[in-house]
Amino acid sequence: MTTLRLKTWPAVPLEAEAITPDRFVGKTSAEIEALPVHHGNQEAALGDFFAVSGDGTPDIAIEGDLARVKLIGAGMTQGQITVHGDAGMHLGAAMSGGRIGVHGNAGDWAGAEMRGGQIYIRGNAGHGLGGAYRGSPQGMNRGLIVVAGSAGNEVGSAMRRGVIVVGGNTGDFTGAFMIAGSILVFGNLGERAGAGMKRGSIITYQTPKLLPTFRYACTYRPVFLRLLLRELRSLGQEIAEEWFERRYRRYCGDLTAFGKGEILAWEGP
């Protein structure tokens, strides 16, 4: 286990893509402290802000308020990061493997354009969770993101594969321009969920406000959803028994796009 303890709170955001198991493996704590970070527009070393203990194992624990530390675990392919506190923007962005756990909140763009791996956030997440950066044709493509709290706008935008679970509410444009994949929201969906979606599933447990370009199809018990819920339960997610038993209303959309997507709304107890 490599432990990083924040000792100097950065006055402006710290760009710390160096904090990944890939960069730590095989390094001594002194070498890890020497890894480069950007503090605003100044180059700095990781050791200027963090006390590092333990040698470079693929298992990293970080302590302190990291709300201003960006890019933790960005691009990681293996290992594990546990953040005991809040994490800044771009957490796990473009990661392709491994696991990140955050005990507090995460900033915007957590898991943006990720290609695999898992992110668990106990608090809330910001905007663009698992989404596509501006202009990109694809957001998240494989992997799992679980947020216990709520998330901001554009959750899973242009998502291509994978699963996003939000325990609380999501902001506007959840699953906008989705290409495929699944987004489960246990709280309220914001405005314009699924706008422009081609395929994929958005599953909600509250009555959704639908765009006029979504059309009611049928009410049924989707088999894939039972499998998915069981899987999530086995991963430790709290899943109510009645979510298995009751039926879901299926709305197809977005008819302005390909129209093969769906919003599945739980019928209620």
Least distance to other proteins, CB of residue 182, Å: 23
Q: Taking CB under 8 A as the rule, does residue 134 contact other proteins?
A: yes
Stretch that binds other proteins, among 7-15, 78-86, 131-139, 149-157 (CB under 8 A): 131-139
Of 42, 135, 212, 234, the residue at the interface with other proteins (CB under 8 A) is: 135
Binding flags for other proteins, 80-119, as an x/- string (CB under 8 A): ----------------------------------------
Which span (22-30, 127-135, 164-172, 179-187) binds other proteins, by CB under 8 A?
A: 127-135
Q: Which stretch binds other proteins (CB under 8 A): 22-30, 72-80, 130-138, 214-222?
A: 130-138
**Contact between 236 and other proteins per CB under 8 A:** no
Please tell me whether residue 133 binds other proteins under the rule CB under 8 A. yes
- The distance of Cα 119 from the centroid of its chain, to the nearest Å, equals 6
Residue 8 tokens, joined:
């100097």
In angstroms, rounded to a whole number, what is the distance separating the alpha carbons of residues 66 and 7? Answer: 11
Stretch that binds other proteins, among 71-79, 98-106, 133-141, 260-268 (CB under 8 A): 133-141
CB of 105 to other proteins, least distance (A): 25
Report the amino acid identity of residue 104. Answer: G
In the complex, what is the shortest distance from the CB of residue 1 to other proteins, in angstroms, rounded to a whole number? 33
Tokens encoding 70: 């960006």
Q: Is-contact 90 74, C-beta < 8 A?
A: yes
Please tell me whether residue 137 binds other proteins under the rule CB under 8 A: yes
The residue within the footprint of other proteins, chosen from 53, 136, 207, 256 (CB under 8 A), is: 136
How long a stretch of residues is the chain? 269
Residue 142 zone, left/alpha/beta (φ > 0; ψ -120 to 50; rest): left
State the nearest-atom distance from the C-beta of 253 to other proteins, in Å.
18
CB of 15 to other proteins, least distance (A): 13
Q: Which residue shows structure tokens 């308020």?
A: 65
- Chain-centroid distance, C-alpha 244: 24
Residue 135 CB, nearest approach to other proteins (Å): 4
- Bridge partners of 225, per DSSP, are none
Binding residues for other proteins, rule CB under 8 A, total 5
For residues 123 and 161, give the distance between their C-alpha atoms in angstroms, rounded to a whole number.
Answer: 24
| Identity of the residue, 91 or 179, whose beta carbon is nearer to other proteins in the bound complex | 179
- Which spans in the chain are helix H? 21-24, 29-33, 223-234, 241-245
- Tell me the backbone φ, ψ of residue 223, rounded to 5 degrees: -65, -40
Residues within the interface to other proteins (CB under 8 A)? 133-137
